[in-house]
Structure 1
Amino acid sequence: MRKFAVIAFVLFFGIQYSQAQVRVSPGLRGGLNISTLTNIDDNSSKTDFYIGGLVDIRFNKFFSLQPEINYSRQGDEGRYFENGRYYSEKYELNYITLGAVAKFNFNGGGFHLLAGPSLDLKVDDNYINSRPEDFDLAIVGGVGYTLPNGLTFEARIKQGLVDIYGYDYYDNDGYYTNDAILNQVFQIGISYRFKTK
């Protein structure tokens, strides 16, 4: 019984101590999207924006987990030939993105690496002759720097994993897996974490 009381005492104060070290800070983020779609001839990147919110859960000075929710305007700019000339058109793929990035701070300072998954739910598109998939799964990676006041500058690459047209890959129709049309986004942005007690 005495051993049980000592173990319970140590666990209770260990949990209290570990919880005291965790800091939770909400924040806002936004920035520039430079997006494209892979494996499409004659297309180019499209410039747009993303905006959203975050919760920074800091476990210690080296590691934090950051759940995020964003509105992200993606797609690409395509070219087509008609009546003897080329035309360009911006193709919109707009998502609500739900992500969680792990942030690794070097020497407990402002410079960090980040990586994590993202679930993207399509809310809008301007495609006329086709219907892109309603969701995407993506992997995010990047680098950033956080100032002491909570302002952060980041550069990220986001690689989609789901073919946006949902094709079935059959060898007999000449369409192969490496022809998949995937979202690819380069992001440059800022975020701000509100200070909490």
Structure 2
Amino acid sequence: MKKLLLSIAMVAFGLTANAQEVKFGAKAGLNIANVSGDVENNDARTSFHVGGVAEIKISDKFSLQPELVYSAQGLTSELEETFDDGTNVVTIKADGTLKLDYLNVPVIAKYYVAEGLSLEAGPQIGFLLSAKQKVEFEGESDEQDVKDNFSSIDFGLNFGAGYKLENGLNFGARYNLGLTNVLDTEGDESVKNGVFQISVGYFF
């Protein structure tokens, strides 16, 4: 995977040298994040992403778009525990949120199928900034740092589409498919990220 990213970077450098035009911009939007694998009772965490982009125009149909994006990911879940207090069987329910916040670096290939409309795909490397587990029960909450339980680097692939107006305003929808196990604990458990993103951006 690292060799693949190095090869992509070298190709990107070569394409940049032959670029017809380079534009810089910013983007922000909605994240609907979750994880897949050895996890139960999980649901999506609704959060956000924000960052900077550069579109490198190679031809009228093809562009390369490297990005640097802060992305709040993770999951939500309903925690349930049942115990016998000697008189009754009691079930306690609480709400949990796993907050995995990344600095993601995607390199997106854009192919324009029509004026302003592009299909997009490309690899991504993510650097874990923080990992916290929050539990809320009957109005009380507790948050713990769990970064040591997670890998510091995540690899993924992006697929999506975008639409760009002539004035620089642009819109995008993208899914990031996690490829690597983000858990860094003993055992055979495997958990991978998955994030659907809706973005609004502007090229200066």
TM-score range, shorter chain: 0.7 to 0.9
Could you tell me which runs of 5 or more consecutive residues in structure 2 were left unpaired when the two chains were aligned: 1-16, 82-89, 134-143
Matches within 5 A, 1:99-110: 99-107=106-114, 109-110=115-116
* Alignment equivalent of 1:94, drawn from 82, 88, 101: 101
Q: How far did 1:85 drift?
A: 2.7
- Match of 2:174? 156
Q: TM-score, normalised by structure 1?
A: 0.79
- Match of 1:5? none
Q: TM-score, normalised by structure 2?
A: 0.76
- Match of 1:74? 73
Deviation by residue 1:125-174 (Cα, 9 ceiling, x = unmatched): 114466111110010010111111111111000011111114677xxxxx
Greater helix fraction, Structure 1 or Structure 2: 1
Q: How far did 1:186 drift?
A: 0.3
* Alignment equivalent of 1:132, drawn from 123, 134, 150: 150
Contact 2:149 2:184 in 1 (8 A): no
Relative distance call for 1:58 and 1:138 in structure 2 (3 A) is same
Q: Distance in 1 between matches of 2:178 and 2:93?
A: 29
* Alignment equivalent of 1:35, drawn from 33, 36, 41: 33
CA RMSD of aligned residues (A): 1.9
Range 134-143 or range 120-129, more displaced? 120-129
- State the AA in 2 paired with 1:191: G
Contact 2:48 2:71 in 1 (8 A): yes
Range 83-92 or range 123-132, more displaced? 123-132
Percent of residue pairs identical: 31
Deviation by residue 1:85-138 (Cα, 9 ceiling, x = unmatched): 32111110000111110000014x111100001100001111446611111001
Bigger Rg over Cα: 1
Q: Distance in 2 between matches of 1:111 and 1:180?
A: 37
- Match of 1:58? 57
Greater strand fraction, Structure 1 or Structure 2: 2
Q: Distance in 2 between matches of 1:167 and 1:110?
A: 45
Q: Distance in 2 between matches of 1:65 and 1:167?
A: 36
Relative distance call for 1:168 and 1:89 in structure 2 (3 A) is closer
What secondary structure, in the 3-state scheme, does the structure 1 residue paired with 2:155 have?
strand
- State the AA in 1 paired with 2:25: G
Range 21-30 or range 159-168, more displaced? 159-168
- Match of 2:7? none
* Alignment equivalent of 2:23, drawn from 8, 22, 25: 25
- State the AA in 2 paired with 1:104: Y
Q: Distance in 2 between matches of 1:151 and 1:135?
A: 32
- State the AA in 1 paired with 2:173: A
Q: Distance in 2 between matches of 1:167 and 1:126?
A: 15
Could you tell me which runs of 5 or more consecutive residues in structure 1 were left unpaired when the two chains were aligned: 1-17, 170-174
